[in-house]
Amino acid sequence: MTETTAPVPNPVFQGLRRGVRRRCPNCASGPLFLGYVKVLSPCPTCGHDNAQYRADDAGPYFTILLVGHLCIGPLLIFPFIWKSPIWLVLGTTLPLILVLTLLLLPVVKGAVIGAQWGMKAARQSRASSPPPAAGRD
Q: Are 14 and 30 in contact (CB under 8 A)?
A: no
27 binds Zn ion (CB under 5 A): yes
- The answer to whether the bond into 42 is cis (omega within 30° of 0) is yes
- Asked if 43 interacts with Zn ion (CB under 5 A), we say yes
Helices (H), 1-57: 11-20
Q: Does 114 bind Zn ion (CB under 5 A)?
A: no
Q: Is the bond leading into 7 cis (omega within 30 degrees of zero)?
A: no
Among 14, 48, 63, 104, binds Zn ion (CB under 5 A): 48
Give the binding range for Zn ion (CB under 5 A) out of 27-35, 65-73, 86-94, 105-113: 27-35
- Using the rule CB under 5 A, is 30 a contact of Zn ion? yes
The residue among 59 and 114 lying less far from Zn ion, judged by its C-beta, is 114
